[in-house]
Amino acid sequence: MDIRNIAIIAHVDHGKTTLVDQLLRQSGTFRENEQVAERVLDRNDLERERGITILAKNTAVLYKGTRINILDTPGHADFGGEVERIMRLVDGVLLVVDAYEGCMPQTRFVLKKALEQQLVPIVVVNKIDREFARPTEVVDEVIDLLIELGATEEQLDFPVVYTSALRGTSSLDPERQDGDMTALFETIIDHIPAPVDNREEPLQFQVALLDYNEYVGRIGIGRVFRGAMKTG
């Protein structure tokens, strides 16, 4: 199966968790008659209460035969350790920036961590339908910030997708919106590199998250860097 591993990072309240909710909905992860709780990745009670993401979460969507593994990371400076750790497990990032507020201090922090890992960015200008949105200026701000942080030529050649996560729409054109998230799905497939296929080598597996399920007990979540694992 074709795979993409991405992290979604942003300043607090720029809409990244809502964006992931839409990707889950539109990929068919949930049945049409299944009730989907808002803020799918904010499972922690404190996160739901405060409306921010504190701990890194993982989920996956299947789009046209490609499995897209998504790591939703904190957008709040107090939980920066989570951001740094998760950057080692992905091959690219979605940098979500508010179409009106633009680059914020926390955007700088998470972007620096991604660039240090030589990750390929996709810039998602979210809340494009917001009053006084200024998408062109916001993209220019991202470019300036990338240059300031020492991005490579490859990293500077990033694609931009304009979205309204609240409405579930996206486009490559800031002047219009398509009716779904197809533009974002396709950009992820086209621009994020697939993992290197080294299944024949000795196993190397890095655990990044620990979870607990009442049925199966403790669960280790991470990435297989080489080799292969199977149930048995």
Compute the radius of gyration of the chain from its Cα atoms.
17
pLDDT digits (tens, 9 = 90+) for 176-223: 999 999 999 999 999 999 988 888 888 888 887 777 888 889 988 778
pLDDT tens readout for residues 114-166: 899 999 899 999 999 999 999 999 999 999 999 999 999 999 999 999 999 99
Residues 232 and 183 in one domain: no
Same-domain check for residues 117 and 230: no
Identify which of 22-31, 68-77, 83-92 has the greatest average pLDDT: 83-92
Considering the domain architecture, whether residues 189 and 210 belong to the same structural domain is answered as: no
Same domain, 63 and 11: yes
Q: Are residues 173 and 202 in the same domain?
A: no
Structural domain tally of the chain?
2
Tokens of 84: 């740094």
Query: 36 has which bridge partners?
Result: none
The reported pTM is 0.81
**222 and 137 inside one domain:** no
The boundaries of the domain holding residue 82 are 2-195
The answer to whether residues 169 and 231 belong to one domain is no
Q: Are residues 227 and 178 located together in one domain of the fold?
A: no
Question: Is there a single domain that holds both residue 18 and residue 113?
Answer: yes
Residues 89 and 152 in one domain: yes
The Cα 121–Cα 100 span in angstroms is 20
96 lies in the same domain as 177: yes
Task: Specify the CATH number for the domain of residue 14.
Answer: 3.40.50.300
Q: Within this chain, do residues 84 and 189 fall inside the same structural domain, yes or no?
A: yes
